[in-house]
């Protein structure tokens, strides 16, 4: 039986607090040269796609811009459109919010990217959850949380209807007969649903993939259902072996009720890596990176996200605070000290987390900063290139994932070492491509072609 193939994506670090900005090797997160270097490395390594996150409002903590994790938040579709011109095969995936955009505009941008790249576009559909981000847009909080996935679902089905509204053979452009369009009636749509009431003609002829690849990155019950019904890939946080297997089984198990097969949805956890020539060297490198990632100020910032109060006079090299977190603020409504950070939502019981941190600190004699590193700073894969390749392959072969979205800590050169040292070992194992076989991202991911087009679309929901 042929080996299960690994799918790899390269996440441009950009907005992550795991990014090391103080290292001399660290470059700009906004200049095109950084994107060029990163994309071309990932393409040289035959990755499936490049991934760009999106931040629609600068995160804040204690009323200040959260400068520790904001390196730059330029518009990602524009960046991908520029990258289309200097790459040939790698997929180009952009995160675009479904709550604060209009379907025709998003569909038009993604179809344009698909045309410019010859069929390499992907849309990571995110809903966002916080009113803080919503304030940036018309109508403040705008959409109640419980309607966000309804809107995401309708946004996606509307975008798909628009993409499908042009038959592939509509543009004839026959100079001899003078015929430009075959029927001259393409692109017509009428959508009436809970969230949308739009009609007209979609202005972009059918793109090479028909429908760009759809990625989903939410983790709630609604998010998982949305992915199972409609996404081609999930970008998830569940990157540990057992947690990954549980998530994989959960989401793949939801596909049948939507008439889909397990291979129709790829599960791709985020993963970090630190390499070394020996296991000891890799462990030491990982330790150093963790200390770079969690400097004294970052340790305090992380602790404030749990304690939900100003800890600027706490010593990061002293013990974990003995007092309890403040629990009377709601993360979603924006009254929390930390605004706009997804990770804060994971601390459902901050007092229990604080107790855990305190116990760990006392038991192991760790400072607050060391506890933050122990709890938040773990890297997914640490070891020699051989060890990392073996582990990645093991995770994929044992259905903890279908591959990984790799997030290096140095921009833009952090992927180079993975491309040079780990990818050849995965190729030797026969679990990762040595050449691109197809030209579109759908082909790289082993997805079925988009459904055939229809000439006119009418959706009533
Ligand atoms: C791995 C991962 C990556 C994400 N990346 C982004 C992002 O770049 N931009 C963004 O606005 N939201 C991002 N999100 C969060 C989404 O906004 C998601 O829609 C939100 O968490 C609400 O969905 P949920 O309640 O199902 O988790 C990400 C989530 C995960 C799990």
- Each residue's pLDDT tens digit, 104-119: 999 999 999 999 999 9
Measured in degrees and rounded to the nearest 5, phi and psi for residue 291 equal -70, -30
pLDDT score, position 280: 98
**Ligand 1 center from residue 54 Cα (angstroms):** 9
Measured in degrees and rounded to the nearest 5, phi and psi for residue 278 equal -130, 170
Closest ligand 1 atom to the C-alpha of 269? 1
pLDDT in tens, 280-294: 999 999 999 999 999
Residue nearest to atom 17 of ligand 1 (CA): 128
Residue nearest to atom 3 of ligand 1 (CA): 217
> Alpha-carbon distance 191 to 342, whole Å?
32
pLDDT score, position 456: 42
**Ligand 1 center from residue 45 Cα (angstroms):** 27
Contact 54, 76 (CB under 8 A): yes
pLDDT over threshold 90, residue 129: no
pLDDT in tens, 217-273: 988 899 999 999 999 999 999 999 999 999 999 999 999 999 999 999 999 999 999
**Ligand 1 center from residue 217 Cα (angstroms):** 5
* pTM (two decimals): 0.93
**Ligand 1 center from residue 136 Cα (angstroms):** 17
Closest ligand 1 atom to the C-alpha of 237? 1
Closest ligand 1 atom to the C-alpha of 133? 11
Which are the contacts of 6, defined by CB distance < 8 A and separation ≥ 6? Answer: 392, 393, 396, 402, 403, 404, 426, 431, 432
Contact 33, 408 (CB under 8 A): no
**Ligand 1 center from residue 235 Cα (angstroms):** 9
pLDDT over threshold 50, residue 455: no
**Ligand 1 center from residue 400 Cα (angstroms):** 20
- Over range 326-331, report the average pLDDT: 70
Mutate which of 77, 218, 228 to test ligand 1's pocket (most atoms within 8 Å of Cβ)?
218
Lowest mean pLDDT among 132-136, 188-192, 304-308: 132-136
pLDDT over threshold 80, residue 344: no
Contact 48, 7 (CB under 8 A): yes
Calculate what percentage of the chain has a pLDDT beyond 90.
74
Report the 3 state secondary structure along the chain.
Answer: CCCCCCEEEEECCCCCCCCCCCCCCCCCCCCHHHHHHHHHHHHHCCCCEEEECCCCCCCEECCEECCCCCCCCCCHHHHHHHHHCCCCCCEEEEEEECCCCCHHHHHHHHHHHHHHHCCCEEEEEECCCCHHHHCCCCCCCCCCHHHHHHHHHHHHHHHHHHHCCCCCCCEEEECCCCEEECCCCCCEEEEECCCCEEEEECCCCCCCCCCCEEEECCCCHHHHHHHHHHCCEEEECCCCHHHHHHHHHHHHHCCHHHCCCHHHCEEEEEECEEECCCHHHHHHHHHHHHHHHCCHHHHHHHHHHHHCCCCCCCCCCCCCCCCCCCCCCCCCCCCCCEECCHHHHHCCCHHHHHHHHHHHHHHHCCCHHHHHHHHHCCCCEEECHHHHHHHHHHHHHCCCCCEEEECCCCCCHHHHHHHHHHHHHHHHCCCCCCCCCCCCHHHHCCCCCCCCCCCEEEEEC
Closest ligand 1 atom to the C-alpha of 126? 19
Mutate which of 342, 403, 405, 406 to test ligand 1's pocket (most atoms within 8 Å of Cβ)?
342
Contact 202, 187 (CB under 8 A): yes
Pocket of ligand 1 (CB under 6 A): 53-54, 95, 97, 126-129, 217-220, 222-223, 235-237, 270, 342
Report the candidate in 81, 77, 61 with the shortest Cα–Cα distance to residue 69: 61
Residue nearest to atom 29 of ligand 1 (CA): 217
Closest ligand 1 atom to the C-alpha of 145? 25
Closest ligand 1 atom to the C-alpha of 52? 8
- Over range 415-443, report the average pLDDT: 98
Torsion of CA 285, 290, 293, 297, to 10 degrees: -140
Residue 143 pLDDT level (bands cut at 50, 70, 90): confident
Lowest mean pLDDT among 128-142, 358-372, 383-397: 128-142
> Alpha-carbon distance 436 to 48, whole Å?
9
> Alpha-carbon distance 64 to 301, whole Å?
11
> Alpha-carbon distance 189 to 118, whole Å?
25
- Over range 349-376, report the average pLDDT: 94
Residue 71 pLDDT level (bands cut at 50, 70, 90): low
pLDDT score, position 133: 83
Tracing tokens 């992380």 back to the chain, one arrives at 302
- Over range 22-33, report the average pLDDT: 90
Contact 158, 193 (CB under 8 A): yes
Lowest mean pLDDT among 127-141, 305-319, 386-400: 127-141
Closest ligand 1 atom to the C-alpha of 216? 19
**Ligand 1 center from residue 322 Cα (angstroms):** 32
Residue 332 pLDDT level (bands cut at 50, 70, 90): low
Tracing tokens 């070394």 back to the chain, one arrives at 276
Closest ligand 1 atom to the C-alpha of 222? 26
Calculate what percentage of the chain has a pLDDT beyond 70.
93
Residue nearest to atom 5 of ligand 1 (CA): 53
User: The dihedral of CA 444, 445, 448, 453: what is its sign?
Assistant: negative
**Ligand 1 center from residue 252 Cα (angstroms):** 19
Mutate which of 100, 150, 217, 238 to test ligand 1's pocket (most atoms within 8 Å of Cβ)?
217
pLDDT score, position 74: 85
Residue nearest to atom 14 of ligand 1 (CA): 217
**Ligand 1 center from residue 127 Cα (angstroms):** 7
Mutate which of 18, 71, 80, 126 to test ligand 1's pocket (most atoms within 8 Å of Cβ)?
126
**Ligand 1 center from residue 364 Cα (angstroms):** 34
pLDDT score, position 401: 98
What integer best gives the mean pLDDT of the chain? 91
Lowest mean pLDDT among 6-20, 133-147, 173-187, 329-343: 329-343
Residue nearest to atom 13 of ligand 1 (CA): 126
């Amino acid at each position: 039986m042929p080996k299960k193939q690994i799918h790899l994506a390269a996440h441009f670090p950009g907005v992550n607090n795991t990014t090391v900005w103080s290292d001399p090797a660290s470059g700009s997160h906004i200049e095109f040269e950084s994107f060029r270097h990163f994309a071309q490395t990932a393409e040289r390594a035959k990755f499936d796609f490049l991934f760009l996150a999106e931040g629609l409002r600068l995160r804040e903590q204690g009323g200040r811009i959260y400068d520790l994790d904001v390196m730059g938040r330029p518009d990602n579709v524009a960046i991908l459109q520029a990258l289309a011109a200097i790459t040939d095969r790698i997929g180009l995936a952009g995160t675009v919010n479904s709550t604060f955009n209009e379907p025709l505009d998003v569909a038009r941008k993604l179809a344009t990217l698909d045309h410019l790249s010859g069929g390499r576009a992907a849309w990571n559909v995110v809903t966002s959850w916080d009113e803080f981000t919503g304030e940036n847009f018309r109508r403040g909080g705008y959409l109640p949380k419980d309607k966000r996935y309804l809107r995401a679902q309708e946004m996606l089905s509307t975008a798909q209807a628009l993409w499908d509204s042009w038959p592939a053979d509509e543009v004839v452009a026959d100079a001899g007969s003078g015929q430009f369009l075959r029927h001259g009636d393409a692109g017509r749509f009428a959508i009436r649903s809970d969230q949308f009431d739009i009609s007209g003609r979609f202005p972009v002829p059918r793109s090479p993939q028909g429908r760009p690849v759809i990625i989903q990155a939410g983790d709630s019950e609604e998010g998982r259902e949305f992915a199972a019904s409609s996404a081609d890939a999930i970008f998830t946080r569940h990157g540990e072996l057992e947690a990954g297997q549980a998530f994989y089984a959960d989401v793949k198990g939801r596909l049948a009720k939507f008439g889909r097969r397990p291979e129709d949805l790829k599960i791709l956890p985020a993963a970090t890596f630190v390499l070394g020539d020996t296991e000891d060297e890799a462990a030491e490198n990982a330790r150093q990176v963790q200390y770079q990632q969690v400097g004294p100020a970052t340790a305090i910032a992380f602790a404030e996200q749990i304690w939900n109060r100003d800890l600027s006079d706490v010593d990061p090299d002293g013990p974990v605070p003995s007092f309890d977190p403040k629990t009377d603020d709601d993360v979603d409504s924006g009254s929390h000290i930390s605004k706009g950070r997804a990770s804060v939502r994971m601390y459902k019981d901050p007092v229990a987390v604080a107790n855990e941190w305190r116990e760990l600190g006392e038991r192991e004699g760790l400072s607050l900063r060391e506890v933050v590193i122990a709890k938040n700073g773990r890297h997914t894969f640490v070891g020699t290139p051989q060890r990392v390749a073996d582990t990645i392959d093991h995770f994929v072969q044992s259905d903890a994932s279908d591959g990984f979205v790799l997030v290096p800590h140095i921009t833009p050169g952090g992927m180079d070492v993975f491309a040079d040292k780990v990818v050849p070992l995965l190729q030797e194992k026969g679990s990762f491509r040595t050449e691109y076989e197809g030209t579109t991202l759908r082909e790289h991911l082993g997805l079925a072609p988009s459904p055939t087009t229809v000439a006119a679309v009418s959706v009533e929901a």
